[in-house]
Structure 1
Amino acid sequence: MVNRSQRFLLREKQILLIGGGKNKKFVWEAAKNYLVKIILIDPDHNHSAATSVYKFIQCDIEDHSRDEENAEKIVHLLRTQGLAVDGCMTVIDEYVPLTALLCEALCLLGNRPEASRKTKKKSLTQNVLVESAIRSSPLPNPKLNAVTIHEIVQPEDVKGSSNILQYPAILKPEYGSSSLGVYLVKDETECLKSFNTVQKTLKAKDEKALAFGYGNEMLLAEYALGTKHGVDIVMFRGMILAAFISDCGPTRFPRFLETSSCMPTSLTLDKQRQLVTATQQCVRAVGLTDGVYDIEFKMTPMGPKLIEINGRMAGYNHRDWILAVFDTDILFLNFLIACGILPSVRPLEPRCQLIGVMCTTTAHAKALSRPGIATLEILAEAHEEGEILFFPRESKLKENEPFENLLCQVVVKAASINEGKEKLLAVCRKYGIDNQQYPVERFLSPFLELSRQ
């Protein structure tokens, strides 16, 4: 639900958007719908949005070691072109620190550069929680939400890691996203092997393929046992105005790509409160204050344990899910916050239950390459006919890739979790998404278990 008066306040506002990225067409389409003028900064001369936004400025901003210099350059470009801006934001992970520098330089509402730096590097985020000195709050100290970590920059750093944390552990890139290059390793030997494999792949493909220009350092983290959950929050001047919790199904070990999702959460109310409290303490510790963010946790027997904080609005289809379930457009709220307008967020009861599964390039390349039976085009037609909600990600069906990638997501709408599971399982069997390599029933089973708690 979009507040009419707030829509009026946002009308004709000029928002500086840093980075156009891929599959972000929904941003400028929404801006056009809300009568917002987007000034897009992107390094690609031929970006597809160049003719779709109010103003497109090509600027080389890919070298993040020069973010401060790039911020000064962008400010100069705005002034020389006589462009006034009412807000500044990004929906691209790699441009979060640069956006914070620009908000500070332009005196706009946004996060401080230090806060963005703390969320960008995973080990730094965890260290901030451990070292947190929040004492006045009656809430639990954020260090309780941290996991044990060990930074791995070179192969020699693996030796002795078993003395720091317990195996099995999670090896992942310091700056990456979308679970690319993330592995579960059982001991130091396997850790070293996985580390060398990832580094070799990166050098063969692109020197900074996973980190988007930040570096290829890796992190070894404690593997917290429990269920995974996402918390999408809306913050204004340090206050959390709304929190949307979703559940994630088990991953396909040893990799960690998402398999299934459920919204609204099936967690009991007390555990939902634990997640929101942990979220509040974690974002407070790192210093986030204004924006829409995506925080990931494991709900363990010892309480919530932080996986990571994404210092920008969640990508892919989170906006679509929240809009469908709660009738709330988090992108509209992001526009408002960027312009310094306090969003009006009314607590809304969920309108439906969404349950979905991810299709991956390695598990479904063959299954979705059967003309007349199951293809991406056939799934798109099923979406148009109302049988499913279909969210494409990749258009190329590559079975043998160094890193497994998300191909698409298939979702069903239902009145309950049980109904949703039955509908989705039937759809997955119909189109071959459920197969020996990808047992959908197992990926959906935790949602029912949680709903019975």
Structure 2
Amino acid sequence: AGTEGLSFRLRVNVCRGLGDNPEATSYICGVGQKNSPINGDNTKPQSLETTMRQWGLENETENLKKTLKEGSETLLRRIIEHENRLDDEEKGNVGAQTDVIGIDYILSKRNGVYAPIGIEVNSHDCTINCQLYEFMNPDLAGLSVGPLIQTMCERSQRYAMSGKVVVVVGAGGSSKKFIWPAAKKENIRVVLVDCLPNHEIPDVARYLEYDFTDHTQDETHAKNIVQMLLKHGAELDGCCTFWEDCVPLAARICDMLDLDGIGLKGAMIAKKKSSTQNTLCDRTADIPHFPRTYLYAERCHHIENECDLENAEKSVEFPAIMKLEYGSSAVGVKLVHDMGEAKEHLSSLQEKLTCEEDHPGIGLGYGNSMLMMKYLEGTEHDIDVVLYNRKLVAAFVSDNGPTKKGFFTETAACMPSCLPKDKVGQIVTAAYQCCVEIGLVSGAFNVEMKMTPAGPKLIEINARMGGFYLRDWIKEIYGVDLLRCVFMTACGIKPLINKPKPRYQMMGVMCVPSVHAPIFKNSQTYDLIKNLHTMGHIRYNAIEDEIEDVDFETEEPMCNIAVHAGNVAQAKEKLLNFCTLFHLSTEEYDVNRFLGNFKENMI
């Protein structure tokens, strides 16, 4: 009714988003006489939804919009792929490329179904009517070009970092190998300090050999490394590390060279877990606009012998958690129910784990002392925060499934968080407060917390970028690269991150040797999983480059396999189907149970 003699023209705006991914942003219509040309100059912009209702086609809107989105984004993707094959002269100039297009459509009924027919594509005036529409609807301001602005900021940050010289202390394990090609791609010149076999030295701008294994001598190591750097005459822009054991050492080097960094005080407190908790417990003062910090922490006790255990028993109730004071994994973590179990665990651990060589990479370079603290009930979460000069730049929350019984190793993960919006705000605030209250200044930090019935409680702070799959997931979901954030803050440049919206829901499961070794030792299955990753059907993040390098004698996760979907329910169904197909779920390792908490507005 009311549309006789009228027709409409539909404009879809598509921008080059982060990672060169096309994103359809606006769907704007103009209504006019069907016997005359209809364009942006002789119509007033209105939404696709309103227009479809006007024509009595509201039931067709969802399918039409899906078709428009897929077709329009595919068109820009083809343009990008074509331009990538051209040289600078063929493109028109250095850096010339198509970043935004507008596609005009009309609707045609075919076999009883309305289908869009493209009639024009251009890139010179494609945002005019979209911006007119946003002017009339201020709450939508920036919608049509949002991804393009993000891409422009991304390019600017890449340019700002190009040619920077950054000292990286410690190469880390195989799971950190992505750092070197990623830095090289951004033209960041890495000076790596470590003591590696020749065949393990990565492709970096400069490699300085130095053995810092004994971290009890970090002050001496820092002085020696600074002398080496000055001797080589390197003009340094920053210094950082991605390896847990090297955090205090890198902070000392920053301090001695007067470089921007995470902050020596914060690095030292974060590395010693009991100091982290006890420092926060002492922060009882009122802070305007924030809860009191002590509410996030629990009093801890440093344990070196049985006498320390007996003292701890006076203030820590059983069951309690015991773990390595300087640990960087779940190795050594145990729930103890009485003093007998506590003494037995202390004795066993101090007998088996005496030095770094006993279990490389878990923090034994600082000794094998332990801590005891209250066991916290609730769901476990990771909060990866980016700080610059003590200000919160960004935070990304993920949910963890229940830990594997008896080992406290991670079983499953989900991002974005399924927590209610107010609980996400609560846990982000808690993570930020805990970081700045112990003295962390600038960088990307991984904070582990439990959401208890009374709110968030701190497990520990890792004063470096989150490891394993976290950087990869955050980059895939939000288009934010934590690796670049670390390099930027180390060089005194604030990362520009504009509250990115998640592109999809991701959910993954850990694979462990005791259950999954036979599956991954089957070369056909292993190759199929890697191929599915290459094709984009799954995300496969491994601790080791090759399956032959996995230590099948430990119960540490060997890899994470994840899927992405439109929402939590779809991601869970997709992951469970994959786990069934590849026999990843067993009676002993019940993936369905691990994913049980992952649902919208989980409490």
Q: Tell me, yes or no, whether TM beats 0.5.
A: yes
Quick one: which amino acid aligns to residue 247 of structure 2?
A: V
Q: Which amino acid aligns with 1:423?
A: K
Q: What is the match of residue 280 of structure 1?
A: 432
Match of 1:413 among 556, 560, 564: 564
Contact kept, 8 Å, 1:18 with 1:89, in 2: the verdict is: yes
> In the alignment, does 2:338 pair up with 1:211?
no
User: Which residue does 2:343 correspond to in 1?
Assistant: 192
* Whole-angstrom distance in 2 between the partners of 1:71 and 1:399: 32
Query: CA 1:45–1:83 in structure 2 vs 1: closer, same or farther (change >3 Å)?
Result: farther
For residue 351 of structure 1, the aligned residue among 490, 495, 503 is: 503
How many residues align? The count is 448
Q: State yes or no: 1:115 paired with 2:271.
A: no
Residue 260 of structure 1 and its aligned partner are, at CA, apart by 0.3
User: Which residue does the alignment assign to 1:260?
Assistant: 412
Aligned residues of 1:362 and 1:405 also touching (Cα < 8 A):
no
Question: Partner residue of 2:191?
Answer: 39
- Cα 1:96–1:203, aligned 2, differ >3 Å: closer, same or farther? closer
Q: Distance in 1 between the 2:359 and 2:518 partners?
A: 30
How far apart, CA to CA, are the structure 2 residues paired with 1:298 and 1:40?
35
Per the alignment, residue 123 of structure 2 pairs with none
Is 1:385 the counterpart of 2:535? The answer is yes
Select 1:84's aligned residue among 206, 228, 235: 235
1:264 is displaced (CA, Å) by 0.3
Aligned counterparts of 1:57 and 1:187: Cα–Cα separation in 2: 49
- Pairs within 5 Å for 1:306-325: 306-325=458-477
Alignment of 1:231 onto 2:417: no
SS, match of residue 53 in structure 1? coil
Question: Is the 8 Å Cα contact of residues 166 and 240 (structure 2) preserved in structure 1?
Answer: yes
Give 1:147 shift: 1.7
Q: Distance in 2 between matches of 1:348 and 1:207?
A: 43
Contact 2:353 2:364 survives alignment (8 Å):
no
Contact 1:365 1:399 in 2 (8 A): no
Residue in 1 that maps onto 2:487: 335
Paired with 2:346 and 2:452, the residues of 1 have a C-alpha distance of 27
Aligned residue in 2 for 1:8? 159
1:173 matched residue in structure 2: 324
TM-score of the pair, normalised by structure 2: 0.71
**SS in structure 1 of the partner of residue 366 of structure 2:** coil
Classify the secondary structure of the residue corresponding to 1:163: coil
Displacement of 1:204 in angstroms is 9.3
| Alpha-carbon distance in 2 for matches of 1:226, 1:452 | 11
For the 8 Å contact 1:149–1:220, the answer to whether it is kept is yes
For the 8 Å contact 1:365–1:398, the answer to whether it is kept is no
5+ residue gaps in structure 2? 1-17, 19-150
Structure 1 runs of 4+ aligned residues shifted over 4 Å read 396-400
Per-residue deviation, 1:11: 0.8
Once the 2 structures are TM-superposed, how far is the Cα of residue 82 of structure 1 from its aligned partner? 1.2
Post-superposition offset of 1:212: 3.5
Shift of 1:291: 0.4
- Aligned residue for 2:295, secondary structure, equals helix
Q: 2:290 aligns with which of 139, 146, 160?
A: 139
Q: Is the 8 A contact 2:318 2:338 kept in 1?
A: yes
TM-score normalised to structure 1 length: 0.94
Whether the 8 Å contact between 1:236 and 1:342 is mirrored in structure 2 is: yes
- 3-state SS in 2 of match to 1:445: coil
- Verify the 8 A CA contact 2:356 2:363 in the aligned structure 1: no
Q: Secondary structure at the match of 1:305?
A: strand
The CA deviation at 1:398 is 7.0
What RMSD over aligned residues (CA atoms) do the two structures have, in Å?
1.9
Alignment partner, residue 125 of structure 1: 276
Question: Are 1:170 and 1:184, in contact at CA under 8 Å, matched by a contact in 2?
Answer: yes
Change (3 A) 1:386 1:281: closer
| Larger gyration radius, structure 1 or structure 2 | 2
After superposition, give the CA deviation of every residue in 1:296-351 in whole Å (9 maximum; x if it has no partner).
Answer: 10000111100000101111121100001101111111111111111111111100
For structure 1, which runs of at least 5 residues remain unmatched after alignment? none
Counterpart among 302, 305, 328 of residue 151 in structure 1: 302
Could you tell me how far apart the structure 2 residues matched to 1:162 and 1:180 are? 23
Q: Which deviates the most, 59-68 or 134-143?
A: 134-143
Cα distance in 1 for partners of 2:320, 2:218 equals 33
Shift of 1:396: 4.2
- Report 1:416-435 matches (<5 A): 416-435=567-586
Q: 1:212 to 1:385 in 2, by over 3 A?
A: same
Whether the aligned pair in 1 keeps the contact of 2:517 and 2:552 (CA below 8 Å) is: no
Distance 1:43 1:205, change over 3 A: closer
| 1:94-136: CA deviation from partner (whole Å, max 9, x where unpaired) | 1111111111111111133221100000000001001125434
**How much identity, in percent, do the aligned residues show?**
38
CA distance in 2, matches of 1:68, 1:54: 26
